[in-house]
Structure 1
């Protein structure tokens, strides 16, 4: 299905789809089909292209979104005194446009990157602040102040009255959800979760931030109470993620967890950031090198767009996160990628494979044998030249001595 056939923000214009169905009917008739096509046939095909089993199902969804936008029912649910939690500020503006009046809080610590260990709060926040300031070239004191504020509010989640966590299915969001729930010592009376991995009519769902305000209003009634099973699973997963060994995490990732159904797929994706047994690359690195090898020299920003738009199986990175993950491949000595025209903003700088980059991509060299920077996946550290954990094609951790 072409992007033109799909909404990117979840808002489907029914009149536009009716017009497309009529145009399709004319094309079908001109093609001289054996059986005379009808408007119903064309409408069915349009609905199928948008991911619906029938035209009535498509129309019912559009009507439901329109109704939610006109009758959000926020007051009846005490939304004005609700705190909305998100792992970023991407929906803050859209919530306001949709008519939400509650307070907005966020935790933007990218837990899918850098060291994440089970440490006392002060040391944990110091480690995270140090990593983020280095990875994103930010002032460490400013990062520390922001973290102190965000984590202080998060610690109050269990006593904060009505709170709602907005999450999608990728590793960035699921790790935020794990962290938020694992920090609770009891099940709050009024903590709810909105969790989504796809939106009807959206061809490639990247995240909640891409959705129209009306669609956020449609999602609101779909929230569910956080319960003891969710808390227990989150605590178990958080400790496994913080462990030096990824073995327990891999065991959880192989399971099926009805209380948090998107957790295991997100953990499976995060395990793929461990070095692959063949080349030592994470999946993010491998997909990026493959595209540069096919299309390079190619602008840095185009590589990110290709990854998020097509190749990444469970998109979770922002552009600055992607840039930070790629720097060790560029700045290492030796390097896997050559970056030219460095006077330009980084998204415009062309990238090309080095000789070592091609060797690694072909499995003729192993990247951690040449890397100069350590890499963390949760509590698992990959130090250059030292024994470390890898991941095989079956997502089973393997020790490389």
Structure 2
């Protein structure tokens, strides 16, 4: 049997190589849960749009993106020559959205798909026995592959309605997908104060006192593991919040401002201060979106826009 293993990022690469698991490796170095994703059936068009967006908004060099990310993913085009493709992805949003993309890319570029299996990977760095995990892999069925395709398409659309419908469907062997989609939808601005769930979390913690950024991140990593964010993704959020003026940093300590307190108490709305023109949640451009998260109903709601 010949295997092609797909890992989510380089974090487990060294340990995986040291294991006795046979096969070749492709590393997915994307972060599809952050920033704009374009709805298209053409991977080259998708990557061109993605590279432009990441370069403009996050300072990721386009050539570096193509060299480190795209060229590595293009190895998946040869997966038809393997007996089995095995996906090693965790349960969090970061991993699950990347996994959906990998399945989309496989279907878009490989004429005859080999057997595709997934590993229910423990949260890094808790992975110790790759060989045992390999024996517990689950083969994806046609219904699973169709659900993954539908979920990826829905994630890229300019409206989240389809995705909210999908999260309520039986997940089959994609058992972590509903919770990941739920976490994604909670990143839409709140109907009450304009904060998404992560922004609100940071403000609520800072309301209790000042924190060094790493200590604040550590609390987030312990309390909200479902997002799977690293330093880079959290830095983006903190810088945005500081630019808006709801938090501030002084002597390496983060604290909430008076505006931040007013937003938390619903005296002010975060969206009155934050520019949304280039803010995306999946395929949804927030500046043009009427969709808000309603914590009371645990669902999205449409608001009237002026």
Q: Same-fold call, TM > 0.5?
A: yes
Q: CA 1:301–1:139 in 2, change beyond 3 Å: closer, same or farther?
A: same
In structure 2, the residue matched to 1:302 is: 215
2:94 equivalent among 167, 172, 179: 172
Distance, in Å, in 2 between the alignment partners of 1:362 and 1:368 is 14
SS of the residue 2:51 aligns to: helix
Matched with 1:267 is: 181
Instruction: Report the 3-state secondary structure (helix = DSSP H, G, I; strand = E; otherwise coil) of the residue aligned with 1:210.
Output: coil
Quote how far apart the aligned CAs of 1:237 are: 0.6
Counterpart selection for 2:126 from 197, 203, 211: 211
Conservation of the 8 A alpha-carbon contact between 1:136 and 1:320: no
Q: Distance in 2 between matches of 1:253 and 1:240?
A: 11
How far is the alpha carbon of 1:313 from its aligned partner?
A: 5.5
Give, in angstroms, the shift of residue 262 of structure 1: 1.0
Other-structure match for 1:55: none
1:380 aligned residue (278, 284, 296):
284
Instruction: Say yes or no: does 1:395 pair with 2:298.
Output: yes
Which residue is equivalent to 1:70? none
* Residue number in structure 1 paired with 2:53: 131
Give the TM-score, by structure 2 length: 0.89
1:59-208 superposed matches below 5 A: 78=1, 81-119=2-40, 120-183=42-105, 184=107, 188-196=113-121, 207=123
Q: What secondary structure, in the 3-state scheme, does the structure 2 residue paired with 1:112 have?
A: coil
CA displacement 1:186-244 (0-9 Å, x = unmatched): 77333221124x5xxxxxxxx2x31243x222211001222211110011111111111
C-alpha offsets along residues 172-194 of structure 1, whole Å, 9 cap, x if unaligned?
11112211222316773332211
CA separation in 1, counterparts of 2:289 and 2:93?
A: 26
Aligned equivalent of 2:250: 340
Query: What corresponds to 2:143 in structure 1?
Result: 229
Q: Kindly indicate whether the alpha-carbon contact (under 8 Å) linking 1:129 and 1:147 is maintained by their aligned counterparts in 2.
A: no
Structure 1 position 158, deviation (Å): 4.5
Residue 330 of structure 1, aligned match among 206, 229, 242: 242
- Structure 1 or 2: larger strand share? 2
Flag the structure with larger Rg: 1
Does 171-180 or 254-263 show the bigger shift? 254-263
User: For the structure 1 residues 302 and 358, does the alpha-carbon distance in structure 2 shift closer, same or farther, using more than 3 Å as the test?
Assistant: same
Cα shift readout 1:315-357 (whole Å, capped 9, x = no counterpart): 410111111222211123xx2111224xxxxxxx311112211
Gaps of 5+ in 2: none
Q: 2:158 matched to which residue of 1? A: 244
TM-score by length of 1: 0.69
The superposition leaves residues 8-67 of structure 1 with CA deviations (integer Å, 9 ceiling, x where unpaired) of xxxxxxxxxxxxxxxxxxxxxxxxxxxxxxxxxxxxxxxxxxxxxxxxxxxxxxxxxxxx
| Number of the residue aligned with 1:27 | none
Moved more, 157-166 or 103-112: 157-166
Contact residue 84 and residue 116 of structure 2 kept, 8 A: yes
The residue aligned with 1:285 is: 199
